[in-house]
Amino acid sequence: MKSKIPVVLILILVPFAYAYYLYPSLPYRIPTHFNASGEADAWGHKSSIFLLPLIMGVTSIIVYFILSNIKKLDPKRYASVDDKMYKQLALYVVVFLSLLSLLITYASAHEGVKIEKLLFPFLGLAFAGFGMYMPKIKQNYFAGFRLPWTLESEANWTATHRLAGKIWTVGGLLQFLSGLIIQGELVFIFFISIIIVMVILPTVYSYLFFKKEKVG
């Protein structure tokens, strides 16, 4: 873990450095929020350019600490937990949050940029990446589909996360493609619809698996 801390800190500081670089050339007011169509619908002082890197930075630190110490923090101390894999996942999350911060900061500083053309393809690829990690996640209380049935049964957890991995990978790639092809508010609707499917299908599958185990 110690060897990755400098990398994590650099990743967290990069969005701050980018915001600092942009700050002198920013207008007095910059967008602070975008609607479903990618249009700015809230504005703030240019100093707010540092707010998102701060939020993402704090979130990165918390998530990295939890995932990197998951075996120590988990009350059941699941023996099958792979410390190395969780540290890789923790670093992936930090990279994801830092890139997301850079992307939104760029859109805030450049009026006229269609943020949806950047945001939705990026999020789609990120979710596809999370899908690749899903089958590797073992029983724990912090990451994955932490449902009553998956936490009760290791077989349920394993089967659910294998399915979730496939669904999230395919769903993420569909989100990526839709972000490139679909225009306006429709891309937001399509994106959210896929997320709902990505959450509901593994949840229903887990419950049905539980019912089957109970009968058996």
pLDDT tens track for 64-80? 988 888 777 776 655 55
pLDDT of residue 40: 66
Are 49 and 82 in a shared domain?
Answer: yes
pLDDT at 172: 95
Give per-residue burial for 96-112: e unless 16+ CB within 10 Å, then b.
bbbbbbbbbbbbbbeee
Amino acid of residue 174: L
Cβ proximity of 127 and 176 under 8 Å: no
- Domain hosting 70: range is 1-113
Asked if residue 180 and residue 156 are part of one domain, the reply reads: yes
Same domain, 143 and 109: no
pLDDT at 30 over 80: no
The pTM score is 0.81
- Indicate if the pLDDT at residue 59 is higher than 90: yes
Q: How far apart are the first and last CA of the chain?
A: 43
Domain count along the chain: 2
Q: Tokens standing for 84?
A: 């190395």
State the amino acid at position 192 in one-letter form: I
Of residues 27 and 14, more confidence is placed in 14
One domain for residues 68 and 141: no
The whole-number average pLDDT for the span 160-183 is 93
- Enumerate residues 6+ apart whose C-beta is below 8 A from 37: 116, 184, 185, 188
Select the more confidently predicted residue: 79 or 38.
38
Report the distance separating Cα 159 and Cα 136, nearest Å.
Answer: 11
pLDDT band at residue 113, thresholds of 50, 70 and 90? confident
The verdict on 1 and 68 lying in the same domain is yes
Q: Are residues 26 and 97 in the same domain?
A: yes
Residue 23 has pLDDT above 80, yes or no: yes
What is the per-residue pLDDT for 36? 62
**What pLDDT score does 79 carry?**
53
SS3 content of the chain, % helix, strand, coil (to 5): 75, 5, 20
Query: What does pLDDT average to over the chain?
Result: 86
* CA-based nearest residue to 86, from 161, 138, 160: 138
What tokens does 156 get?
């349920």
Distance CA 185, CA 39 (A): 10
